[in-house]
Structure formats: structure tokens, C-alpha cells
Amino acid sequence: MKKETYAAAVKKTLEFFAKANIVLTKEEQNNIEIADFGLNNLDIEGLQIVTYINTDRVCSKEMVLFPNQTCPEHKHPPINNTLGKEETFRCRYGKVYLYVDGEKTENIKGLCPNSFYTVFNEIILNPGEQYTIYPNTLHWFQAGDEGAVVSEFSTSSNDESDIFTNPNIKRIPTIE
Amino acid sequence: MKKETYAAAVKKTLEFFAKANIVLTKEEQNNIEIADFGLNNLDIEGLQIVTYINTDRVCSKEMVLFPNQTCPEHKHPPINNTLGKEETFRCRYGKVYLYVDGEKTENIKGLCPNSFYTVFNEIILNPGEQYTIYPNTLHWFQAGDEGAVVSEFSTSSNDESDIFTNPNIKRIPTIE
């Protein structure tokens, strides 16, 4: 990711947090994670993240999706004799189209960004609504036209071990 | 707790969540937990809680403290071969005076409600600031003059097993 892309995305992310009335410390504002998944197409597939806490047992993040932006399909497998990550997404602002493994929903509302998407059981989250994803469950999610702010409550997060359906994805970004 | 006390506290709690721009579902609004700890003195010692999620592994709550209200001193011991509850408090609105086991702070800002308080290491949380409490650590917390809204991110919550310093406390309330 280019430095300018990163800086512009951080600015936009802070605007969404402000819309959702999420207060961040200066340090958090200076450490926004912009994940483009190595695809170089941030506005289509990407995610913006503030990690509040991530210990061996508990993790909590606040995430921004830009309008119609998608967090690509992935799952959290068991690692090091633990069960794998369990996570609850709670929509704070905007609308989230969430897709999980299970019965395919006909005429889904989201727009599949490419062919690396395989699960289509649709859950729609409006502000105040939430959904829990248990370990090893394929899932992806997309914001509606206004973008979205989503809180995540989970067990320990170890992004490096996530398994993405798209083999071209690199979860940990590099800034040029 | 009397039914009228409960209803009035729920109304006040919803006003604080609105001030902090926290969106709740109707179901959550109808299930606000008002904890008076069996002390019948809610405005002095009490806590208002919405539990978003509480599984075997992860818990997240949104809590309201009325102005100058105190959540009484307690700790989360190991239970059933687990380590005990680890929790992070993140202030979303107002000011929180948090006291944990450790070196006593001189001239604390909070007002000790009675003599059942024994730890005085002071941490002050403004909006966006947070603190993590590890298992088996005595702690209590109090809102400033404006009240407070606090997010909690934690391991599984099992309130019945909390150990309070005040032996008169009953954690699980009864509504008359």
C-alpha cells in the first residue's frame, strides 16, 4: 500500500468513527490499521481497524467499512490446541451485510466483489444488531451505501493464522 | 428492589445510553439489568448493565453508572479450573474513577461510600481511555458528577462467583 493511500484511508476512517460517536485516544488515532489484504484495491476489498485490547484470552476491536467495501471471505481455524477465534460483530453505524457458511440466501443484497466468495447465508445487521461467528466458520461482510462501524468482541486474535478463500490475499499489509 | 425503583432506574439508564449514542435493540432495552447488590441504596451503590454476549469464552457488556454511583469492591476468583474473569473497562462517556489493588493513591478523587472498601490505587478514565483488570484483583469504580457509560470486554462472566468485600452484598437482585 502506498503511503498516500494509507494516509487518505486513515483520514476517512476517523470521519466514520466520528459519525458513530466513537471516541479514540490520540495514540489509537495514530495507529489505525488499514488492511488491504495485499490486493491493492482498498475501496473494494479492505477493512479499517482499531484494536482496543488483544490478550491471550480476550480481544476487542472497532472496525470501519467504507461504503460497499468488503472484508474478504475467511475463517479462523484452531491453533496451538485452542478452538480458534470466536467473534461477535455488533453494528454501531450504517448497515452490514454478513455472509456465513450455511443455507444459501436467494437474491443476496450484497455485491460479490469477485469469484473468491463461496458462502452466502445472509445476515443483515442494523445499528444495535449483532451476530456471533464460531470458530472455523467461513464468513465475509460488506457495508451498505453509507459505510459501517462494527464492534468486534472475541477470543484472542491472531490474524496471521486466518485462512482466506482468495489465495492471493496477504493479511499483514506492507506500507511502501 | 421495588418495581418502581427498577422502572425509574431503567428509564434513567436509557437516557445515559442515548447521551453516549449507544444504540440498543428493543429486546436489550427491555432487559436492562439493574444491580443494587441487595443494598437497597441504588443511587449510592449500584450498576446498570446490558449484556451483549456471554458465552463460555467471551463476554461483552455496556454499563451505566449514575452520577457518583459506585460499583462495590469485588474480585473474580478462579472457577472450575479456569483462571477467573479478565476484564477491560473502556470509558465511552463521562468520567470513571477506578480503584484496584496496589499502591494507595494519596487524596483519591472518588468518595468511598462506606468502610467496605480496601483498595485505593486510582486510575481515572476519560472517554476513549481503558484499563485491564486481571483475575483475582480487587477493584471498585465510581462515576464522576456526570455519570458514566463504560464498555466491558472480558472472558466469560459468572456474576454469582464474584467475591465482594462487603459481606452484606447479594449480587443477584430480587424484584418485589
pLDDT at A146 over 90: yes
Residue B148 belongs to a domain: yes
Residue B172 belongs to a domain: no
d(CA A144, CA A97): 7
Q: Residue A174 class from Cβ within 10 Å (0-12 exposed, 13-18 middle, 19+ buried)? A: exposed
User: Where does chain B have alpha helices with state H?
Assistant: 3-19, 26-29
Q: pLDDT per residue over A156-173, tens digit each? A: 999 889 999 999 998 776
Residues in chain B: 176
Chain A contact probe: residue of B134, B153, B157 with most A CBs at under 10 A: B153
Percentage of chain A exceeding pLDDT 70: 98
| Other Cβ atoms closer than 10 A to A171 | 15
- Residue A80: what pLDDT? 82
Domain that holds residue B157: 3-164
What residues of chain A have any CB closer than 8 angstroms to a CB in chain B? 20-21, 23-25, 28, 52-53, 55, 57-60, 83, 86-88, 90, 92, 127-130, 132, 151, 153-155
E strand or H helix that includes residue B48: strand B47-54
pTM of the model: 0.96
Task: Place B82 in a pLDDT band, splitting at 50, 70 and 90.
Answer: confident
Nearest to A52 among B24, B55, B130 (CB): B130
Task: Place A174 in a pLDDT band, splitting at 50, 70 and 90.
Answer: low
d(CA A71, CA A36): 9
SS3 string, A3-26, reads HHHHHHHHHHHHHHHHHCCCCCCH
| Whether ipTM exceeds 0.90 | yes
pLDDT at A6 over 90: yes
**How many distinct structural domains can be found in chain A?**
1
Task: Place A176 in a pLDDT band, splitting at 50, 70 and 90.
Answer: low
pLDDT at B76 over 80: yes
Quick one: which of B73, B58, B88 has its CA closest to B150?
A: B88
> Using a CB-CB distance cutoff of 8 angstroms, which residues of chain B are in contact with residue A153?
52-53, 58-60, 153
Residue B154 belongs to a domain: yes
Residue B59 belongs to a domain: yes
By the 8 A CB rule, do B119 and B158 touch? no
Cβ-Cβ contacts under 8 Å for B149 (sequence gap 6 or more): B16, B17, B19, B20, B22, B62, B63, B64, B65, B91, B92, B93, B94
Residue A173 belongs to a domain: no
Residue B171 belongs to a domain: no
Q: The domain spanning residue A121 has which CATH number?
A: 2.60.120.10
**B122, β-bridge pairs:** B99
Mean pLDDT across the stretch A41-46?
97
Task: Place A123 in a pLDDT band, splitting at 50, 70 and 90.
Answer: very high
Residues in chain A: 176
